[in-house]
Amino acid sequence: MATIQNSLAFAQELIRQVLLPGEQAIDATAGNGHDTVFLARLVGSKGKIWAFDIQVEAIKNTEERLEKENLRQRVNLLLQGHENMAVYIKKPVGAIMFNLGYLPGGDHSIITRPDTTISAVKSGLKLLRPGGIMTIVMYTGHTDGGTEAAQLKRFCHTLNQKDYHVLSYCFLNQQNHPPQLLAIEKR
């Protein structure tokens, strides 16, 4: 029997299947740098990662993690909201990762917001190459987390099935608001 994976592990597995060495990818919410490091390893020395966050602490934490892993040269760190990604990125990307909510270990009053997240998702879908994938891990146990997840799901229902495949992955019998995953594949 297959092992059921948590949302973060499943998001990584989906990305691992499509992101190619030498490609560009986006970490839309750098946080503590875990997804940034994951993406930087996948694209290899010829690839490039763009990592966004609005908090200085997140950019600093991500930079330290990248330096420890000797991956700093593969990543453009931007102290910017993810809704601004199209300003910086002009070429198609193979993957985009969102990890919504707040910075673990940081100020929990600074959270992702539905309006800027949906704007970022729209921009990201335009940047995504055919066959590329966007993963959105949503945490619903914090202030406005449930609202953000509901609005993102409503938005995803509007995406044309001829252009995108959208997967919703969540545990139905878990307590304490386990993370949920949306994965969008561009056709």
88-145 per-position pLDDT tens digit: 999 999 999 999 999 999 999 999 999 999 999 999 999 999 999 999 999 998 889 9
Q: What is the DSSP letter of 19?
A: P
> What pLDDT band is residue 1 in, cutting at 50, 70 and 90?
very low
Measured at the CA of 82, the angle between CA 76 and CA 85, to 5 degrees, comes to: 60
CB 27 within 8 A of CB 51: yes
**Nearest by Cα to 91 from 129, 56, 53, 122:** 129
CATH topology of domain 7-186: Rossmann fold (3.40.50)
Question: What percent of the chain is modeled with pLDDT above 90?
Answer: 92
Q: Domains of the chain: which residue ranges?
A: 7-186
> What pLDDT band is residue 175 in, cutting at 50, 70 and 90?
confident
pLDDT tens per residue, range 59-74? 999 999 999 999 999 9
Measured at the CA of 141, the angle between CA 137 and CA 145, to 5 degrees, comes to: 60
